[in-house]
Amino acid sequence: MSIPQNQVVVGGIYLTATNQLRKVTQIRADKGKRKRVSYLCKSANYPNRPFEIAHTKASPPLLSTFARACTRRTR
């Protein structure tokens, strides 16, 4: 089950169905005025590991794609 797009906020940490934690670092509009989400990720199975870059800087995912992949906010 996905989360609503309006619940995605900078600084929020979200869990995916594949047990990945995603920490939102930025939400910005692209040239087409679509919202894109920059985030860091790590496995929820290894909580002591640091978050790492999860996508290319030039092409972060759309907000809708990010929200569909997340099942709930953890923080």
Residue 7 CB-half CA count within 13 A: 13
* pLDDT recorded at residue 10: 98
**pLDDT tens for each residue of the chain, 75 residues long:** 799 999 999 999 999 999 999 999 999 999 999 999 999 999 999 989 999 998 888 889 999 999 999 999 998
Global confidence as pTM: 0.92
Tokens of 27: 């939400």
